[in-house]
Amino acid sequence: MATYAIGDIQGCYAQFMALLDLLKFNPPEDTLWLTGDLVNRGPQSLETVRAIRQLGSSARTVLGNHDLHLLGVAYGLRQLHASDTMQDILSAPDCADILYWFRQQALMIHEGPFIMVHAGLLPQWTLEQASSYAREFESALQGDQYRVLMTRMFGSEPHEWTEDLKGYDRLRVIVNVFTRLRFCTPSGQMEFAHKGTPSEAPQGYLPWFDIPNKNWTQYTVIFGHWSTLGLIVRPNLYALDTGCLWGQSLTAVRLDDRQVFSIPCSA
């Protein structure tokens, strides 16, 4: 039995299938952890989601910003971008089932020494706080008022967490941390405009994972979202979005022994 974490797939179905072959993935004995952004920008979002759903409990995913964008578009609350490639899902006969399935997925998965999120974690949060905040948003997304939530959750402000935040401002900050964070200050103020490498950080900002934080040193955090980072392997960190969509590679790490596997991709 093995557990594999895989970076952002974004509809690159052929490469995803090739990577599973390379891993000799064997459900239900083996398990996949997926860093989110299953869909969009790649050529086969529908096939990707169907394949993952067919794996049942052998595949676990967190929500990424593109997955949430799909929900927003499907419910008529956001516009398709010129670069979006989600029409195959929106036109599919099982679209409603797919949307419901996405709404049931987590913002954070924690098991043993491993934590997986799509984008990041704030330096001042403890594991207990992060878990509580993730469940808070998940409960709202799964609840009866999810359409109201989706009209209010997109946006970049407030860009700093405080415990006294209320209502949709609070939920917006929570979901932005888990699905959009790249750079922040040591005090946790977030910046969403820059998407380049750490050397391009705005003055006063650092990659969230480079800010000293005793709360996370005993865990290994797995994330995707930031393709310009490439693969990062540290004792307590895996950055797994290796830019398959941009012609680089799709990467997996076997959590049991931390061996890395990758499949080359064409843009």
pLDDT at 184 exceeding the cut of 90: yes
Gap between the Cα atoms of 56 and 79, Å rounded: 31
Query: Cα separation of 202 and 101, whole Å?
Result: 37
- Give the tens place of pLDDT for each residue, 141-151: 999 999 999 99
Under 8 Å CB-to-CB from 145, ≥6 apart: which residues? none
Looking at residue 22, its pLDDT comes to 97
pLDDT band of residue 156 (cuts 50, 70, 90) is very high
pLDDT at 205: 95
pLDDT digits (tens, 9 = 90+) for 208-232: 999 988 888 889 999 999 999 999 9
Please report which residue ranges of 110-236 form alpha helices under DSSP H.
Answer: 127-142, 146-152, 167-180
Query: Which of 23, 34, 22 minimizes the C-alpha distance to 1?
Result: 23
pLDDT at 215: 83
pLDDT digits (tens, 9 = 90+) for 114-138: 999 999 999 999 999 999 999 999 9
Dig out the tokens for 165 from the structure. Answer: 């935040």
236: domain CATH number? 3.60.21.10
Residue 254 φ then ψ, to 5° = -85, 115
Structural domains counted in the chain: 1
Beta bridge partner(s), residue 109: 116
The alpha-helical segments, DSSP class H, found in the chain are 13-23, 45-54, 65-74, 87-90, 95-103, 127-142, 146-152, 167-180
∠ CA 74-77-80, nearest 5°, is 65
| pLDDT (0 to 100) of residue 132 | 97
Q: What domain range includes position 31? A: 3-264
Angle between helices 45-54 and 13-23 (to 10 degrees): 40
- Please state the rounded mean pLDDT for residues 63-91: 95
